[in-house]
Structure 1
């Protein structure tokens, strides 16, 4: 199976990948209103866990300077991820990603928004430049929502997923185990829970 290609989603060059999508059909009269609701949920990063349940990873938005914020995400922001299970000790148990791009696409028939994230340093630790994530810095996760005449969609596209080996020994072991699980489908299960939950409204 080959990775799907979309505007705003980086090309797959190496390592693992996944395409995780959920679609929901609404009547044409309410499609635009439903997409506005989806936009609000999509940009409420701090609430993602509340949509998915306590067993899901907790996401917290931080600004460029490493301060927690409660607003819509912006390019250059960071997201702190608290994945159930052991985290990276060097980053106090959290994984971090940086928002490298937010793109809006629209034509007369369809509309989509993508937000691409890449494993990053811990912005709270100014002295440490190490990548605080179980994937290497070449990996990306692109979150997408879209509206077409047929349906609305929430999706996550993982690209170029390889374990982060540039860390302390215990972190490397944890990264290898977590990344292997992610590339074998564990991450896709979590992301499917998110895409389903983002669309879980009437």
Structure 2
């Protein structure tokens, strides 16, 4: 099985990957347009993602480059703090961090798509520590997408080039290996599916 080729999503070169998608069909395109506007509000409310899904899903919170918590729509250069249930990154006080590297959108009368891509990151606001605070290495990416076409809407998460982060303390390396392997074997896809399904509960 090969990774899907999605415009705006990095190519899969090595390591693990996943394509997690959910969609909802409506009686006509007019309803799909209305529902997509609601979906966009949910999609850009990163701090609320956990509330849309199972309680077992990771918690996501938006921060700026200085480490300040944000209550607005995400922008390129912002950071997302991820609190995964269970053991977290010790150096990052139990959290994993990603940086928003791109926000891509395209819109036509019968079609609309928004993609937000993130990559593992250092902890924002720390001037002396630029170690990647995430269980995946720096070349990995997670791209969150919502789309509308015809009479249906879609929510998706595409993971690419997922390999363990070895640039960490010894105990964190062990933790990163186990979590990364779990993701490669599909355990993380269960959480992402909870998110994509939850976003479409309109």
Q: TM-score range by the shorter chain?
A: over 0.9
What is the aligned-residue RMSD (CA, Å)? 0.9
Could you say which residue in structure 1 is the equivalent of 2:157?
Answer: 156
Could you say which residue in structure 2 is the equivalent of 1:139?
Answer: 140
Q: Partners of 2:35 and 2:27 in 1: how far apart?
A: 10
Could you say which residue in structure 2 is the equivalent of 1:119?
Answer: 120
Could you say which residue in structure 2 is the equivalent of 1:170?
Answer: 171
Could you say which residue in structure 2 is the equivalent of 1:13?
Answer: 13
What is the CA distance between 1:126 and its match in structure 2? 2.3
The 5-angstrom pairing of residues 53-92 of structure 1 reads 53-92=54-93
Moved >2 Å (runs of 4+)? none
Q: Partners of 1:25 and 1:58 in 2: how far apart?
A: 28
Between Structure 1 and Structure 2, how many residues are aligned?
201
Q: Partners of 1:44 and 1:120 in 2: how far apart?
A: 21
Partner SS, residue 35 of structure 2: helix
Farther off after superposition, 164-173 or 52-61: 52-61
Q: Partners of 2:143 and 2:42 in 1: how far apart?
A: 16
Could you say which residue in structure 1 is the equivalent of 2:46?
Answer: 45
**Are the aligned partners of 2:146 and 2:156 in contact in 1 as well (CA < 8 Å)?**
yes
**TM-score, normalised with respect to structure 2:** 0.97
Partner SS, residue 178 of structure 2: helix
Partner SS, residue 146 of structure 2: strand
Partner SS, residue 91 of structure 2: helix
Partner SS, residue 118 of structure 1: strand
**Are the aligned partners of 2:32 and 2:151 in contact in 1 as well (CA < 8 Å)?**
no
What runs of 5+ residues in structure 2 fail to find an aligned partner?
Answer: none
**TM-score, normalised with respect to structure 1:** 0.97
What is the CA distance between 1:53 and its match in structure 2? 3.2
Partner SS, residue 195 of structure 2: helix
Q: Partners of 1:51 and 1:124 in 2: how far apart?
A: 29
